[in-house]
């Protein structure tokens, strides 16, 4: 049985209470640290009116990365299927 944790995280000067599963805590905290780091990087590089602008840029960066990874995985899956079909056809010819 998994145990839920209620943790507080500070992102861009706001505190959020989040309920997570205990086994996800390390990954969740790493994600929070990555977001904070990216916010700092964007703050150094760009002019901004408020931290919402920085959050929007970080979100865009992560979603772009997610979509690219997803598309790359689909391409890899198609390559894998093609190779498996090729192997299958070779094996069928040997029968």
**Tens digits of per-residue pLDDT, 45-94?**
998 889 999 999 999 999 999 998 888 877 787 888 888 888 888 888 76
Q: What is the pTM of this model?
A: 0.69
Q: How many domains does the chain have?
A: 1
- What span, in angstroms and rounded, lies between the C-alpha atoms of 29 and 25? 6
- pLDDT at residue 27 in the model: 95
- pLDDT value at 7 more than 90: yes
- pLDDT at residue 91 in the model: 83
Average pLDDT for 19-46: 95
Residues spanned by the domain of 87:
4-94
DSSP string, 46-60: S--SSHHHHHHHHHH
């Amino acid at each position: 049985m998994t145990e839920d944790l209620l943790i507080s995280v500070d992102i861009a000067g706001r505190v959020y209470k989040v309920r997570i599963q205990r086994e996800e805590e390390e990954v969740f905290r790493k994600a929070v640290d990555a977001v904070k780091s990216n916010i700092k990087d964007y703050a150094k590089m760009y002019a901004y009116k408020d931290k919402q602008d920085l959050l929007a840029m970080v979100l865009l960066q992560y979603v772009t990365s997610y979509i690219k990874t997803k598309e790359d995985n689909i391409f890899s899956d198609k390559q894998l299927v093609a190779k498996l079909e090729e192997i299958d056809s070779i094996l069928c010819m040997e029968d």
